[in-house]
Amino acid sequence: MNLAGLFVTAPITFLAIVSLLVLLYEAVSKNSEGGSFWLSVLGLAVCAILSLSSIDLTGTVYAMVNVGGVGSVFSALFAVAALITIVLSRDYLRNRGAGFGEFYLLVLFATIGMMLMATAADLIMIFLGLELMSICLYVLAGFMRFRQLSNESSLKYFLLGAFATGFLLFGIALLYGASGTTNLAEILGKYQALTTSSLFWIGAGLFLVGLSFKIGAVPFHMWIPDVYQGTPTTATGFMATGAKAAAFSAFVIFFARPEFATSEKLKLVLALLSAASMILGNIIAISQNNIKRMLAYSSIAHAGYMLAGLAACNMLGKEGVIFYLISYTFMNLGAFGVLSLIEENEEKNLTYDDYAGFGVSRPWLAALMAIFMFGLSGIPPFAGFFAKYYVFLAAIQGNLTWLAIVGVLMSLVSVYYYLRLVMVMYFRDGQKSSDKHISVPALVVLGLAAMLVIEIGVNPSSVLSILNNLY
């Protein structure tokens, strides 16, 4: 431990200090919710700035943490996602009698876990980050402890996470047994010698399965829709974006390497996971009437789209996945954010029919939701279009044209259930919606998310230029 190391890992170090200050404030103050909220918001804003300012740094500190590069991009993305989640959660929790500062604290600690995964230079660091993130998310899922569905989702997510941890840790143990190290650079440096080791490939396979649970890929998706439905809506958005991006960051760190480009079997496994996720996620999403469950199944489909970029095992695929994660975070967080503002107690206003006439009664929120739905469906000029374009182009360049065709066909299927919500909002009459007050900060963060979805779609080079400089 030295001052230089603390400086280059400033985003993680700073957010850890902020989290401990919030924890201390919660312990000593009776009315701590307001102070914890503002301290968390300011801390995450500074953390995002520190992460972006460290992009040009290179190297490894403590032999465990990478600095700069892709890790800084992911760290900034996690900080922004957490910031949006906390801002949207304040009124949501207060309206349900659960306005406790511990919610913000759990989001902060989960964000630190995500950042550790994205900047990991060692398999042990990936595991520690995953566990820190997961334990916080288990509690967030059951935060509405007086609701049966929330308790159920917490238990199911815990059991799902326990399986994932078991596979992941056993895989890490076998990788260590085959290579004699848990350092990622050293393992990949020995790749040619390890290709003939069955122990190495079994370990890599178990490691892949553990991460597949976290991204919700088929067939490891089993309780994901139930978990999303019972979890507080703002926390659901955080799970669907931040947690998924963290797991994909570990995929990028380990599997999106030139060493694996020659492994046709690995490409085939990733391609099959991708195709199964796209097909099942989109087809089952069609039959959903609950919008949270629809978004849950669509998140499985989006995991499939991103896996297509990883299966390509080329540079465009790696950049495409990161571009997709950035776009997806703002689109999906925005969609869950609008949903949280409209949702009533006892899980009301969560079906398609509840949004009838919404374009007239709440035109601004309807316009925001329409932007997010257009983006998620991949309609130009929104960010989702170019996100899918890059991963499908990478698949074609990686000789996986059939996978790109499956992706395009499933994207056409997704248009139905996304635009169905837009149609209901603007072309069906409904009862007058409630006049529930919506806070200015919530509208501001949703507006900024919508602007970014449009900006990234109209000017994708604004993100791609950053990613190109990283490699």
2-56 per-position pLDDT tens digit: 666 677 788 899 999 999 999 998 888 877 778 888 999 999 999 999 998 888 8
Kindly tell me if the per-residue pLDDT of 115 is higher than 90: yes
pLDDT tens-digit map of 290-348: 898 999 999 999 999 999 999 988 888 888 999 999 999 999 999 999 998 887 765 66
Kindly tell me if the per-residue pLDDT of 435 is higher than 70: no
3-state SS, the chain, equals: CCHHHHHHCHHHHHHHHHHHHHHHHHHHCCCCHHHHHHHHHHHHHHHHHHHHHCCCCCCEECCCEECCHHHHHHHHHHHHHHHHHHHHHHHHHHCCCCCCCHHHHHHHHHHHHHHHHHCECEHHHHHHHHHHHHHHHHHHHCCCCCCHHHHHHHHHHHHHHHHHHHHHHHHHHHHHHHHCCCEHHHHHHCHHHHCCCHHHHHHHHHHHHHHHHHHCCCCCCCCHHHHHHHCCHHHHHHHHHHHHHHHHHHHHHHCCCHHHHHCHHHHHHHHHHHHHHHHHHHHHHHCCCEHHHHHHHHHHHHHHHHHHHHHHCCHHHHHHHHHHHHHHHHHHHHHHHHHHHHCEHHHECCEHHHHCCHHHHCHHHHHHHHHHHHHHHCCCCCHHHHHHHHHHHHHHHCCCHHHHHHHHHHHHHHHHHHHHHHHHHHHCCCCCCCCCCCCHHHHHHHHHHHHHHHHHHHCCHHHHHHHHHHC
Work out the average pLDDT over 234-255: 91
CA angle at residue 41 from 39 to 43, to 5 degrees? 65
CA dist., res. 71 & res. 277, Å (int): 26
**In the prediction, which pLDDT does 174 show?**
94
Work out the average pLDDT over 353-365: 84
Kindly tell me if the per-residue pLDDT of 413 is higher than 90: yes
Kindly tell me if the per-residue pLDDT of 235 is higher than 60: yes
**In the prediction, which pLDDT does 9 show?**
84
Model pTM above 0.85: yes
Contacts of 200 by beta carbon, 8 Å cutoff, 6+ apart = 174, 175, 178, 179, 194
Q: Cis omega (within 30 of 0) on the bond before 11? A: no
CA dist., res. 294 & res. 414, Å (int): 10
**In the prediction, which pLDDT does 35 show?**
85
CA dist., res. 267 & res. 275, Å (int): 12
Q: Which of 176-185, 381-390, 435-444 has the lowest mean pLDDT?
A: 435-444
Which among 84-98, 210-224, 252-266, 397-411 has the top mean pLDDT? 397-411
**In the prediction, which pLDDT does 324 show?**
93
Task: Check if the beta carbon of residue 237 is closer than 8 Å to that of residue 212.
Answer: no
Kindly tell me if the per-residue pLDDT of 228 is higher than 80: yes
Give strand pairing partners of 351.
290
Kindly tell me if the per-residue pLDDT of 434 is higher than 70: no
**In the prediction, which pLDDT does 465 show?**
82
**In the prediction, which pLDDT does 276 show?**
94
Biggest CA–CA distance in the chain, Å, is: 68
**In the prediction, which pLDDT does 433 show?**
57
CA dist., res. 260 & res. 398, Å (int): 13
CA dist., res. 23 & res. 36, Å (int): 9
The mean predicted confidence, pLDDT, of the chain is: 88
Q: How confident is the model at residue 432 (pLDDT cuts 50, 70, 90)?
A: low
Q: How confident is the model at residue 79 (pLDDT cuts 50, 70, 90)?
A: very high
Token look-up 């600095």 returns 67
Question: Which one is predicted more confidently, 59 or 271?
Answer: 271
Q: Which of 91-105, 112-126, 341-355 has the lowest mean pLDDT?
A: 341-355
**In the prediction, which pLDDT does 104 show?**
92
